[in-house]
């Protein structure tokens, strides 16, 4: 009786121990599955700072433009047929106290140019900005030239900067009489820090009651996540997602010491950003850019090459010997051959990646032009899970 009870007790203990191990195994397996699902859910997104995906509404650069002349060229300036160049030179000389007649001026060392620049946000008087100088006449090159003092105007007509200085070119043009060698554009140049800001264009952030963040790529999910991240940072409802592009943040509710501090804290926050699936195609150059999240449905692609060769052979036909009326003529003989290559085939499974498509297209010998047509056909067939933009 005692031995039976002992054996029975041992059996029950082993059963309870086995059940405990089973429960532990189930719990461990569940934890691994949840962790795997969490990793799978996090894989498509990546952590990005708000400063990288948003801008502040009202804080932007402003374009500037001016008209001036470049002097000191080595015979590569505008010709006499460009009338406004000589007129501009005459006006400049008149301001210097020298009277000249524009019709009698014949100089090839001067070129009329447009000067453009970008006025940064919060720019102050005395700041330096880069300018771009572009020829508007028939000058051959701006190499070695110097830009004379040129006022730069904003769209409101006011002068915000003045530009002057020696030009820097990224190319050259050499040769004459049709035998020339040109690298890049020799009629466009830059003047590093060539403009000096003359008027303050700074924005007074102290008057802001609401700071609006603008997403560079509109997205409703990203807009909601940005507002949630800001509210979590300040532990209260200070941000509201207005639409897919704009998030308004109340300055008074945030309680920051200044608007600058508020913006700094917001820009250093991060969210899990899911970039849109997009394919950009440039038909002129054959350039194709695909995002990593582009997926393809199950699709088969057939691609064949048809080559047609037209060959012309010149045959000399001579008259018979001692012929008085015959003459030697050249008779062209044309031969047309058509060659059709084998059809290339690509099979992609459901959810195929971009690299699989590119590898398949390379395997069948598709050119960049062919890839453009193939992508458009896949999109038309509903096999491309992305936005296709043709530029």
SS (H, E, C) the chain: CHHHHHHHHHHHHHHHHHHHHHHHHHHHHHHHHHHHHHHHHHCCCEEEEHHHHEEECCCCCEEEEEEEEEECCCCCCCCCCCHHHHHHHHHHHHHCCCCCCHHHCCCCCCEEEEEEEEECCCCCCCCEEEEEEEECCCCCCCCCCEEEEEEEECCCCCEEEEEEEECECCCEEEEECCEEEEECCCCEEEEEEEEEECCCCCCCHHHCCEEEEEECCCCHHHHHHHHHHHHHHHCCCCEEECCCCEEEEEHHHHCCCCHHHHHHHHHCCEEEECCCCEEEEECCCCEEEECCCCEECCEEEEECCEEEEEEEEEEEECCCCCCCCCCCEEEEEEEEEEEECCCEEEEECCCECHHHHHHHHHHCCCCHHHHHHHHHHHHHCCCEECEEEEC
Residue 260 has pLDDT above 60, yes or no: yes
Domain check: are 338 and 381 in the same one? Answer: yes
pLDDT at 7 over 80: no
Q: Is residue 299 part of a domain?
A: yes
Q: Is residue 138 part of a domain?
A: yes
Same domain membership, residue 70 and residue 148: yes
| Residues contacting residue 156 through CB under 8 Å, at least 6 positions apart | none
pLDDT at 373: 78
Instruction: Indicate the range of 48-57, 123-132, 285-294 predicted with least confidence.
Output: 285-294
Share of the chain above pLDDT 70, in %: 69
User: In this structure, are 380 and 265 located in the same domain?
Assistant: no
* Average pLDDT score over residue span 176-186: 64
pLDDT at 95: 86
pLDDT at 9 over 80: no
Same domain, 295 and 361: yes
Domain identity same for 286 and 363:
yes
In Å, the largest CA–CA distance within the chain is: 142
pLDDT range class, residue 145, cuts 50, 70, 90 = very high
Place of tokens 């003359």: 198
pLDDT tens-place string over residues 223-250? 999 999 999 999 999 999 999 999 999 9
Same domain, 167 and 97: yes
pLDDT for res 343: 58
pLDDT(126) > 60: yes
Q: Please give the mean pLDDT across all residues of the chain.
A: 77
Quote the pLDDT of residue 154: 93
Domain that holds residue 147: 62-171+184-197
Q: Do residues 253 and 335 share a domain?
A: no
pLDDT winner (highest mean) among 130-139, 269-278, 295-304? 130-139
- Out of 150-159, 222-231, 345-354, least confident range: 345-354
Measured between alpha carbons, how far is 142 from 111 in angstroms, rounded to an integer? 8
pLDDT of residue 195: 95
Round to whole Å and give the CA distance between 258 and 207. 11
Inside any domain, residue 232: yes
- The mean pLDDT of 252-277, rounded to a whole number, is 88
Question: For residue 217, what pLDDT band results from cuts at 50, 70 and 90?
Answer: confident
Q: What is the pLDDT of residue 306?
A: 45
Name the residue with higher pLDDT: 360 or 40: 360
pLDDT for 202? 79
What is the rounded CA–CA span in Å between residue 309 and residue 338?
6
Residues 290 and 268 in one domain: no
| Short-list 317, 212, 322, CA closest to 266 | 212
Q: Place 90 in a pLDDT band, splitting at 50, 70 and 90.
A: confident
Report if residue 13 sits inside a domain. Answer: no
In angstroms, the first-to-last Cα distance of the chain is: 92
Q: Strands across the sheet with 287-290, in order?
A: 287-290, 278-282, 387-390
Closest CA to 360 of 371, 369, 350: 371
* Residue 206 burial (CB count, 10 A): 9
Which of 199 and 342 is assigned the larger pLDDT?
A: 199
Residue 18 falls within a domain, yes or no?
Answer: no
* Residues 232, 191 share a domain: no
Same domain as 189, residue 284: no
Looking at the structure of the chain, the number of domains it has is 3
Is the pLDDT assigned to residue 338 strictly greater than 70?
no
The average pLDDT across 146-173 equals 89
- In sequence order, the 6+-apart residues with CB closer than 8 A to the CB of 38 are none
Residue 69: band (very low, low, confident or very high) from pLDDT cuts 50, 70, 90:
very high
Are 93 and 140 contained in the same domain? yes
Whether residues 73 and 130 share a domain: the answer is yes
Please indicate, yes or no, if residue 237 is contained in any of the structural domains. yes
More confident residue, 8 or 185: 185
Rounded mean pLDDT, 160-184: 74
The band of 300, judged by pLDDT with boundaries at 50, 70 and 90, is: low
Report yes or no on 118 lying in a domain: yes
The answer to whether residue 34 scores a pLDDT higher than 50 is: no
**Per-residue pLDDT for 25 more than 60?**
no
Higher pLDDT, 259 or 287: 259
Is the pLDDT score of 381 beyond 70? yes
Q: Is 57 within a domain?
A: no
In angstroms, rounded to a whole number, what is the distance separating the alpha carbons of residues 150 and 233? 48
Phi, psi of 350 (to 5 degrees): -60, 130
Query: In the numeric block, which tokens belong to residue 127?
Result: 């700041």
């Amino acid at each position: 009786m005692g031995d039976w009870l002992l054996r029975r007790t041992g059996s029950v203990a082993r059963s309870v121990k086995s059940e405990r191990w089973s429960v532990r195994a189930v719990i461990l397996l569940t934890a691994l599955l949840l962790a795997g699902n969490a990793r799978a859910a996090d894989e498509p997104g990546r952590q990005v700072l708000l400063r990288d995906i948003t801008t502040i509404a009202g804080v932007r650069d402003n374009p500037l433009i001016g008209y001036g002349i470049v002097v000191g060229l080595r015979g590569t300036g505008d010709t006499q047929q460009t009338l406004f160049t000589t007129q501009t030179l005459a006006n400049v000389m008149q301001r210097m106290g020298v009277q000249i007649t524009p019709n009698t001026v014949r100089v090839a060392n001067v070129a009329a140019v447009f000067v453009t620049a970008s006025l940064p946000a919060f720019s102050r008087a005395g700041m330096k900005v880069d300018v771009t100088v572009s020829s508007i006449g028939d000058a051959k090159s701006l190499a070695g030239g110097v830009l004379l003092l040129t006022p730069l105007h904003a769209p409101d007509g006011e002068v915000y900067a003045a530009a002057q200085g020696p030009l820097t070119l990224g190319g050259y043009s050499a040769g004459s009489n049709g035998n020339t060698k040109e690298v890049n554009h020799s009629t466009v140049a830059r003047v590093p820090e060539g403009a000096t800001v003359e008027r303050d264009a700074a924005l007074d952030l102290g008057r802001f009651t609401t700071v609006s963040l603008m997403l560079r790529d509109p997205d409703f999910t990203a807009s909601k996540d940005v507002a949630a991240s800001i509210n979590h940072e300040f532990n209260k409802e200070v941000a509201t997602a207005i639409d897919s592009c704009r998030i308004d943040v109340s300055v008074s509710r945030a309680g920051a010491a200044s608007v600058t501090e508020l913006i700094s804290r917001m820009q250093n926050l991060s969210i899990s950003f899911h970039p849109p699936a997009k394919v950009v195609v440039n038909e002129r150059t054959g350039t194709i850019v695909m995002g990593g999240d582009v997926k393809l449905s199950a699709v088969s692609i057939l691609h064949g090459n048809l080559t047609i060769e037209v060959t012309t052979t010149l045959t000399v036909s001579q008259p018979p010997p001692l012929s008085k009326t015959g003459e030697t003529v050249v008779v062209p003989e044309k031969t047309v051959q058509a060659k059709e290559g084998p059809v290339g085939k690509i099979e992609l499974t459901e959810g195929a990646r971009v690299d699989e498509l590119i590898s398949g297209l390379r395997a069948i010998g598709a050119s960049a032009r062919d890839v453009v047509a193939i992508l458009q056909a896949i999109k038309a067939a509903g096999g491309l899970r992305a936005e296709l933009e043709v530029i």
